[in-house]
Amino acid sequence: MNKYLFPIYAIIIGVIIALITKKQKAIGTKLLLSFSGAFLLALTLFDLLPEVYQHLEAKQTGLFIMCGILLQIILEFFSKGAEHGHVHIHKEDNKFPWLLFTSLCIHSFLEGFPIHQHNDMVYGVFIHKIPIAVLLTIFLLQSNYSKIQVVGFIVIFAVMTPLGTYISNNTTIATEYVDIINAIVIGIFLHISTTILFETGEGHKFNLSKLVAICLGILIAYFI
């Protein structure tokens, strides 16, 4: 049951943090983002990647991973990088951001598939979603969108990952293509996590606190 609920818990925690910090970016959000990027990348390399290479031909696996990277690049063209903490919503704009919403939902839906066979990945998705939920909630609350639109955005975004996990568990089609989908998701995870890790801080400084957060993420993922 946790594989369905953990991604939802992450969104709830993120929303609560955003509300507590009074719609201001929390100081620790960037560090949590760095930790989540390292944690997700490490789990992908330690757990998901070796499994996919066992079931698919090597060059074919590489092709699908590249497809995942390209898909994420396309999604980010519309979401403007919200999947790794860049949420840009114009306060004066009251038109619902359908492109952002659709891109985030597709991304969230796909990342639910590996949780079917790799239960450890639920922790990576859980940690990954918390800072994203914080930043997304902050920007939505600061926008001119109605409360119904904001709540609807967050609720649908929250259920997309469990929906992906449910489909991977309960449909024949998903079972037949699960390794291909997982390879594509690896590409998505690689792109997101490395983008988070390689982004520099203010003044292009890679500070010590970020390095410690990254090392902690890798270490914890190794021992899970």
Q: Please tell me the predicted confidence (pLDDT) of residue 108.
A: 93
Chain center to CA of 57: 27
Cβ-Cβ contacts under 8 Å for 184 (sequence gap 6 or more): 64, 65, 67, 68, 71, 110
Q: Please tell me the predicted confidence (pLDDT) of residue 107.
A: 92
Name the residue ranges covered by the structural domains of the chain.
Answer: 2-19+28-82+95-223
pTM of the model: 0.87
Round to whole Å and give the CA distance between 98 and 103.
8
Is the predicted pLDDT of residue 186 greater than 90, yes or no? yes
Report the helix count and the strand count for the chain, using DSSP H and E. Answer: 9, 0
What number of other Cβ atoms are within 10 A of residue 96's Cβ? 15
Tens-place pLDDT, residues 90-137: 556 667 788 888 999 999 999 998 886 656 888 889 998 998 888 888
